[in-house]
Structure 1
Amino acid sequence: MSSGLPARIPTVSLDVNTPVSPPYWALLERELLRAQTDACQEFFARYFDERGYLRCVPRWGGDDGPDDAAENLLNWTLLHALGAPDVILDLYRVGWEGHLRQYTEAKTVEVPLARDGMYYREFPVMFDWFHHGEGFSAFFLQGLSTPDDRLLRQRMERYAGFYMGEDPQAPNYDPQHRIIRSLFNGSRGPLLRKATGLDWAGDPIEVEGRFHLGHGERSYAEMVAHFKDYNDVVGDHPLNLAATTLGVLAYTLTGDEKYRRWALDYLDAWVERTRANGGIIPTNIGLDGTIGGACDGKWYGGVYGWGFTVEVPQTGELAHRPAFQSRTHYAFANGLLLTGDMGYIQVWREMYDRVNAHARQEDGRILYPHMYGDQGWYDYTPEPFQPGAREVYYWTMDPADRERVADDPWFAFLEGRRTDYPIEALQRDLAAVHDKVVGMRHDTSTPDTRLSDDMNHLNPATTAALTELMLGGLPTGRVGYPLHCRLRYFDPARRRAGLPEDVAALVDGMTADTTSVQLVNTSQTAARTVIVQGGAYGEHQIERVQVEGQGGFEVGHRAFVVHLAPGCGTRLTLSMHRYAHRPTMGFPWP
């Protein structure tokens, strides 16, 4: 991996003068950007006030807390980075600044953790990274559009400092044992006692007849009961690996090596623990650094851990909630992004085999375990244990990993099958935007009968299809990790991130070392220029470009320039060296 930053300005360019009729997928992409822009403006006017405060009853907790409020801006920063108009970024900024102020002012009465404010120093005072990641997902992608924003850099460095042992008010990190000391952590440090249902549920609130709770609770008592077993938070937990995203992003914004070193050192500690635990990541590390040390020696202990099965208060049924399984693989990809070392992904993928080795046969069927507790392996299902298999294949491009996601329509499209997938996916997301607008216009709630998560499903920013098709990337969702994609685009005329006006892009083929993309200028009157970059953060080297029906040329850089004449387009095949460079947020110009 290149240790320095090569010249940011691409020196190789291509002129495209071949007329093409705008393909249907290209028109759908542009329409989806336009429709979301209009819908997001309507959504903002409906649910935010002029200060950027969310029009709701602000509360603390795992049901409807600050993270849910922030999720009403989910995907907005990515939408702008894809090419949506600047109004999306402008509204996001108003909403984000309002969010930070609103939840700094909001205080609990009975919950001791947030009596002086739910946020302190513009960050949650103390909660888990499952929720931190959800709440900060939009913020974590802001740098794709505003890498030179001084306030963004200051915040990212401050937040990273909370987890690097630099901040005496936030002693979350123990550098001797290389642990984050509690599942509950934040700007006021770690919670070093058992958590209670009150800590998780928030202050008492009127429910019946006024609010509809996301977990189906019918009363405040059921809200507390939902979290009654969410107690074991002391010690480190794999969900805390999400904090490495702060190190990654602070590094990409500043180039300061200390952030990269900390993220890798903490991640490497978890690699060592996983290997010491027989190749299966433990879900509790004691304050003394021992596996299971805060859970009576049980490596599978802890809230959201391997053995975290709880009772649903409304029904009495048991529910399995090993939340680490849906997020932690992204942390190992942070290691890949910082080093180019595929060994980080190998740690997670090897765990599939370790767990599935405990499969058993019942009635002629093979069943695979997904949980582990005092009784041993349990929660056997016909589906093999393989959380994150889609992402793992995306990172490795190993045929053995492809077999785990055999039915994935996007991958089938990239392999030359499922040729209808782009139209299908874009139409699906357009329909979703339509349905959200209809839902918003039929919403009869008022701010005092509205919780922070009530509007989440109406947020019109719908970027999954565009991320796959335009960027050849993994949809970011609300996991709180960096963007992973083959290509990104920049508009040098407007000096901003995203595709220029009228331009559409379709990544229609990917292998471990090639990427094929169609670029089309749908304008019949205006020429457009686009910079094509390898990777979200310039991490991929573009070695050579082959122009369909013509010759090829060498690039040897993170990026190159394409000049598209009016109504013209082309298909390019890029030979690439993935993860060749250290990541940077910097734009490809001075």
Structure 2
Amino acid sequence: MTPRITAAVPLRELPRWALLERELLSRLDRAWREFERRFCEPDGRLRYHGRMYGRDGVDDFYEPFFNWPTLYRIGGSPDLLTAAKRHWEGVTRQLSEYGYLRDEYEIGYDWFHQGESLPFLLGICAADPADTAFRARARRFAELYLPGSDNYDPATHTIVAPHTGAGGPRWGVGEDWAEYRADQPGMQIYGLPLFDVPGVDSWDDLRDPDAARAMGQAMQQRMGRGDTAVNLAATTLAVNAWLYDHDEGLADWVLEYVDAWRERAAANGGLLPDNVGPSGQVGELHGGAWYGGHYGWTWPHGLHSILPAATVAALNAVVLTGRVDRLDLVDGTLDAVLAHGEVADGIAARGSLGPGWAERLGADETTRELLVPYRHGPQGWFDRHPVPLTPVLWRAWARGDIATDTLIERLRAASDTDWEAVRWFHDKEEQGHEAPWIGYLAGRNPDYPERGLELALTQTLRRMALITEAPDEPQDGDIHFWQRLNPVVTEVLSHLVTGAPPAIYYGGLPLARVVIGDVRLGRPGLPADVAALVTTVEEHRVVVELVNTGDAEQLAVVQAGAFGEDEIVAVGHDVAAPGYPGDAWRYDVPPVTTVPHRTTVGGARLEILLPARTRITLDLDINRRAYRAAHQHFAHGTTQEEHP
């Protein structure tokens, strides 16, 4: 029997954050409907009559909807989940007709892009694990990478190619790179993929057709075989399926594969290498070098693609085991690049990702930050940028020490930028505002909830204005059109309502310190008119305030952990002291005073009855990862299991 507490503190005034939160949820529900009306066909597919080019494109059709299930789990309208499923299935049929999928899954592409396709599916599975069709899909997709599949070699503990999927290994790096020419748009900034191809010593050498063919051939043969570090994100498929039925074969494969990469990192001084050859040896296809693999340290993005994959895999291991020891996969890689860090200015001009970093930070040419090398080649480390805060934050979040994490404090101390500022930008990953949220949790930035929600409202309004001006479908080949217009913004809501960052964009599971559900509707997400604010996130403590802004009673459930993995040992909460509503013969409204109360819980869930216009502050004592994580059924409750 889930314990129930009744909120007993009447509202004298509605908190501004609560009003903004409810306004944002209302606007987002109107926004996704307008996006759907303008750009989607009745069966859910995107309106597009153009062609597809090369192997690329599957992720771009799923990405416009990637955070719609997230909005549903936070408090979007009940029919949003139905819409999300319709769009996933419609897009899947659309891509199958283009020949890009087999049995509803990517035929074969790299895991940097497959990771971008995955959040949409993961969000649906987490939102409604009772859906048997998506449960079957989760299992079928996971089996593509298990021992016995064509994609995995259990003898070497490797995924056998950078491009894999429902069609097995898809050798090479794609028809687009049969030649690697100097005139390919946008590629010069990333430089040479390989530095030891005879006759190719500089970018200008690629203007020679023979040199361009030689580079393309070398890429296909050397970068298109063997394992690569970004394949670590494939572990999410198995963990997502494991969350349904705890098949230990799925867990064993994930831990086997992650530990194989940990061993390779340990042999490389803690730094994750980026390539493993067909026989299982690091550097086998690259002259013994630990760098040079596809989407690896040398080309094109380095740390930007490797560190998210490592973080996804490490967090997946935490979900499976309840232990944080495999975060060393992230620690060692961060330590390696930090050892070469330096505080410097000129952020925008310093490398391949510089302009984007300058925009995100609001930096000019004099702004100084701790810059680390993102890439490595025969010439050593190069391409310096600020330390990406998202993996650093997840590392601290998993360990429970966000407000006191020493690396976060080191980065803040080295920065010229105002970490408490809420910067007016929005990227497709729904990331980038970690610093002001960290400041809020540390007690330095009390206005973040209001300013963050104002930002989110403005982001939504701007996207709606762009939708109004946009054509009904993109020009041929412009398959990034829809993700630029997705009006659903959930980053700030994730911070404030779940006590967690948004899921890592490149294949991360949707994690949370708390999930709030609607008991009467039997679903995750805030009940009507209810707003939530997580104010404290510590290893053994979470504080959340609930406010019923409406005139009808609501019944909410508070769950500890995204997958019911945490135990609420006890809860401290405020109750109204005697004195309200006061003497009927007096005309003044008496002040509302509260007294503390404590209730023993001993489970993952707690129900809160919220009469009209009341509030309650819950101070949760948490025994973290006390239960085995599982997809949660809000309609019928769930029984948690202790970790073995």
Shared fold (TM-score greater than 0.5)?
A: yes
Instruction: Show structure 1 runs of 4+ deviating over 6 A.
Output: 213-217, 360-367
1:422 is matched with: 449
**TM-score normalised over the length of structure 2:** 0.79
Give SS of 1:429's match.
helix
1:236 is matched with: 227
**TM-score normalised over the length of structure 1:** 0.85
- Alpha-carbon distance in structure 2 between the residues aligned to 1:426 and 1:547: 26
2:357 is matched with: none
Q: How many angstroms does 1:255 deviate by?
A: 2.4
Q: Give the gaps of 5 or more residues in structure 2.
A: 190-205, 346-367, 413-418, 420-434, 575-594, 638-644
- Aligned pairs for 1:388-407 within 5 A: 388-398=391-401, 399-406=405-412, 407=419
1:568 is matched with: 614
- Alpha-carbon distance in structure 1 between the residues aligned to 2:186 and 2:381: 30
Give SS of 2:487's match.
coil
The structure with more radius of gyration: 2
What amino acid maps onto 2:397 in structure 1? Y
Q: How many angstroms does 1:300 deviate by?
A: 0.7
**Residue of structure 1 aligned with 2:306, choices 309, 312, 324:** 324
- Alpha-carbon distance in structure 2 between the residues aligned to 1:365 and 1:51: 48
**Per the alignment, do residues 60 and 230 of structure 1 end up closer, same or farther by CA in structure 2, a change over 3 Å counting?**
farther
**Per the alignment, do residues 429 and 215 of structure 1 end up closer, same or farther by CA in structure 2, a change over 3 Å counting?**
farther
Q: Contact 2:28–2:488 at 8 Å: present in 1 too?
A: yes
Q: Deviations over 1:350-404 (max 9, x none)?
A: 33223333457999998643322112223346x4687721222222234323324
Q: Contact 2:31–2:487 at 8 Å: present in 1 too?
A: yes
- Alpha-carbon distance in structure 2 between the residues aligned to 1:71 and 1:58: 18
2:543 is matched with: 516
1:485 aligns with 2:512: yes
Q: Contact 2:51–2:477 at 8 Å: present in 1 too?
A: no
Q: How many angstroms does 1:426 deviate by?
A: 0.6
What amino acid maps onto 1:258 in structure 2? G
Q: How many angstroms does 1:196 deviate by?
A: 4.1
2:596 is matched with: 550
**Residue of structure 2 aligned with 1:77, choices 39, 46, 69:** 69
Q: Contact 1:64–1:453 at 8 Å: present in 2 too?
A: no
**Per the alignment, do residues 450 and 551 of structure 1 end up closer, same or farther by CA in structure 2, a change over 3 Å counting?**
same
**Per the alignment, do residues 302 and 216 of structure 1 end up closer, same or farther by CA in structure 2, a change over 3 Å counting?**
closer
**Per the alignment, do residues 184 and 199 of structure 1 end up closer, same or farther by CA in structure 2, a change over 3 Å counting?**
farther
- Alpha-carbon distance in structure 2 between the residues aligned to 1:130 and 1:514: 35
Give SS of 2:455's match.
helix
**Per the alignment, do residues 338 and 562 of structure 1 end up closer, same or farther by CA in structure 2, a change over 3 Å counting?**
same
Deviates more, 1:419-428 or 1:323-332: 323-332
**Residue of structure 2 aligned with 1:197, choices 171, 176, 198:** 176
1:370 aligns with 2:361: no
Q: Percent identity?
A: 32
- Aligned pairs for 1:24-423 within 5 A: 24-57=16-49, 59-60=51-52, 65-106=57-98, 117-167=99-149, 171-193=150-172, 195-197=174-176, 231=220, 232-309=223-300, 323-359=305-341, 368-380=372-384, 383=386, 388-398=391-401, 399-406=405-412, 407=419, 408-423=435-450
Q: Contact 2:570–2:602 at 8 Å: present in 1 too?
A: yes
Q: Contact 1:284–1:291 at 8 Å: present in 2 too?
A: yes
Deviates more, 1:156-165 or 1:569-578: 569-578
Q: Give the gaps of 5 or more residues in structure 1.
A: 1-9, 107-116, 202-212, 310-318
Q: Contact 1:369–1:385 at 8 Å: present in 2 too?
A: no
Q: Deviations over 1:301-327 (max 9, x none)?
A: 112111225xxxxxxxxx868522343
State the superposition RMSD in angstroms: 3.0
What amino acid maps onto 1:505 in structure 2? A
Give SS of 1:298's match.
coil
**Per the alignment, do residues 515 and 385 of structure 1 end up closer, same or farther by CA in structure 2, a change over 3 Å counting?**
closer
**Per the alignment, do residues 61 and 325 of structure 1 end up closer, same or farther by CA in structure 2, a change over 3 Å counting?**
farther
- Alpha-carbon distance in structure 1 between the residues aligned to 2:395 and 2:379: 30
Q: Contact 1:57–1:450 at 8 Å: present in 2 too?
A: no
**Per the alignment, do residues 478 and 35 of structure 1 end up closer, same or farther by CA in structure 2, a change over 3 Å counting?**
same
1:434 is matched with: 461
- Alpha-carbon distance in structure 2 between the residues aligned to 1:361 and 1:80: 42
Q: Contact 1:356–1:385 at 8 Å: present in 2 too?
A: no
Q: How many angstroms does 1:270 deviate by?
A: 1.2
2:351 is matched with: none
1:534 is matched with: 560
Give SS of 1:388's match.
helix
What amino acid maps onto 1:141 in structure 2? G
Give SS of 1:550's match.
strand
**Per the alignment, do residues 194 and 370 of structure 1 end up closer, same or farther by CA in structure 2, a change over 3 Å counting?**
closer
Q: How many angstroms does 1:200 deviate by?
A: 11
What amino acid maps onto 2:394 in structure 1? E
Q: Contact 1:238–1:324 at 8 Å: present in 2 too?
A: yes
**Per the alignment, do residues 230 and 490 of structure 1 end up closer, same or farther by CA in structure 2, a change over 3 Å counting?**
farther
